[in-house]
A and B are shown apart, each in its own frame.
Chain A
Amino acid sequence: MIDSIFHYEFLQNAFASGLIIGFIAPLLGVFIVVRRLSLIADALSHVTLAGIAGSLYLSQSVGALALLNPLYLGIVASVTGSLFIERLRRLYKHYEELAIPIIMSAGLGFGAIFISLAEGFSSDLFSYLFGSVSAVSRQDLWIIIGIALIVIVFLSLFFKELFVLSFDEEYAKASGLPAKWIHVLFMIVTALVIAGSMRIVGILLVSSLMTLPVAAAMRISKSFKQAILLSVIFGELSVIVGLVSAFYLDLAPGGTIVVTSIIILLLTIFSKKIGSKGAVSG
């Protein structure tokens, strides 16, 4: 495997992208989970599907766009979707969660239309849905590096504000933080990470890399710092084990990554049970 990585560019792309995604998705995911926005990540991934499918259709039908990387339209769709969700959440103040099914079905609806226009499922589309070890191009990798830089800059600038906003929104507003703007930026960055992650994990499973490692970390962490650290470790572990097994067993990496993170989650739940029993008897 190590040998192959040195030999094949596609493996280098997949592993480099995977390691980056395994870092930024759970990192941002900690804030998504504690702010109870997990389902929004899911909705956004479906919107990204519409953008990807639209781009695949355009590249078939418009000659000039044949070489357009579908990631770009995916990013546009995802960011637009995140802004729409915010608008809808404000419109339906008392039914904020209604924004999620609206955006999710809009994304799937447009996606279905573009997929059928593009004459059905191609293997390319399959790789977008469930991830791929072989389909990540050098250009995809550069886009993912760009997104990662944005995430790191964003989080290092707004870390303490995001903590306050996540812990206690009312307090954040009362202390005079520009809560609304930070939230909008947060949603845009989330949309970028979703669009970037889907090359590896696939659209349908992208939100799991933002939530499952965090769910596991929250079971056993004592502080916020520890929750972040463990989330990233679990995320990287899932990506590495998932990608290696996907490569050897010829499976979609989305599946192997998610199943790995489920196993980690179960182990943390199990270990906590044993731990607390031990504490009682000891």
Chain B
Amino acid sequence: MGSPLINLHNISYQYEQTKALIDINLTIAEGDFLAIIGPNGSGKSTLLKIILGLLKPTSGEVLLFGKPVNQFKEKERIGYVSQKSNSFNTGFPATVTEVVRSGLVKKTGLFHRYPANVNKQVRQALKSVGMDEYSMKNIGDLSGGQQQRVFIARALISNPNVLILDEPTVGVDSKNVKSFYNMLSHLNREHNITIVLVTHDVDAVSKSISHVACLNQRIHFHGFKNEMDQMSDEQLEAWYGHAVRKVDHQSEVKS
């Protein structure tokens, strides 16, 4: 196990009267490929926002690379891919290159121009997600899955150690979900990027994932993916709140 990159200690979060997260303890280590799974309303996105420092927990502490989140200045070490559907408008007049380049905004710093070799960096980032042929396309003309890859390239361009993805397969064609996970797996193994993603879809948890955390206000299970596979359907159901089924992505691809 690699050294811990993200530590959550006793995190709780409350929206007015509702408890969204209760006493979360979670350590994400270098090289992990973690899926946080939970039904809608289980607090997944809240948890991500707390990790990213966008929300302040009601209690508890977040450490990023060993530093408290509010003192952590190297935000470019954490690449964030937000839930595509609610954060960008498809009519936006921008090319793929312009979008990917904008991932360097924080690293470049206020009042500075992008570095001279920015186009080379854009090409590399696009290549690592298999989108190098689309650099001059309008972002709105791409499919959901292709857009998602572009957003990953935008996160990758600043060479992050961790990639955090919020429901990355929403809006991705079911036929392309598998190749999407293969790409993430490639980034995880070959580029040594720690990956954390949240999803409401238990089915989406593919073989490429190393760790799973099951969330529903509390963390009900956190461990290796193969341990979760041993969980009985009853255990899964108790946590998820309704019947779920496990699908083995290794043996079949859903059509």
Residues of A bordering B, CB below 8 Å: 34, 36, 157-158, 160-161, 163-164, 166-178, 217-218, 221-227
Contacts and interface: CB of A to CB of B under 8 A. Distances in A.
Closest 4 CB pairs of A and B: A176-B75, A227-B93, A174-B80, A224-B94
A218 B93 CA distance: 6
B145 to A, nearest CB: 18
Contact of B98 (A175, A176, A225): A225
B76 to A, nearest CB: 7
A167 B88 contact: yes
Given A157-B111, A160-B108, A160-B114, A175 B76 contact: yes
Given A170-B87, A174-B52, A224-B93, A163 B82 contact: no
A168 B93 contact: no
B182 interface: no
Interface centre among B95, B102, B110 (most CB of A within 10 A): B102
A14 B9 CA distance: 65
A61 to B, nearest CB: 46
Given A161-B105, A163-B98, A175 B75 contact: yes
A223 B98 contact: yes
Nearest to A30: B93
Given A163-B98, A177-B106, A224-B98, A171 B93 contact: no
B241 interface: no
Contacts of B111: 157
Nearest to B96: A223
Contacts of A36: 89
* A interface secondary structure, majority: helix
Nearest to A221: B93
A160 B95 contact: no
Nearest to B114: A160
Contacts of A175: 75-76, 80, 105-106
B114 A171 contact: no
B101 to A, nearest CB: 8
Contacts of A161: 105, 110
B244 interface: no
B87 A222 contact: no
A163 B108 CA distance: 14
Given A36-B89, A175-B106, 4 more contacts: A161-B105, A170-B82, A173-B54, A175-B80
A226 to B, nearest CB: 7
Interface string B68-110: 0000010110001010001111011111011100100110101
B149 to A, nearest CB: 15
Contacts of A218: 91, 93
Nearest to A174: B80
Contacts of A224: 92-95, 98
Contacts of A163: 94, 98, 102, 105
A84 to B, nearest CB: 26
A221 B139 CA distance: 12
A222 B135 CA distance: 12
B192 interface: no
B54 A174 contact: yes
Contact of A160 (B53, B82, B97, B102): B102
Nearest to B112: A160
Nearest to B80: A174
B138 interface: yes
Nearest to A157: B111
B94 A167 contact: yes
Interface centre among A163, A174, A222 (most CB of B within 10 A): A174
B232 to A, nearest CB: 37
A171 B87 contact: yes
Contact of B138 (A34, A160, A222): A222
A171 B82 contact: yes
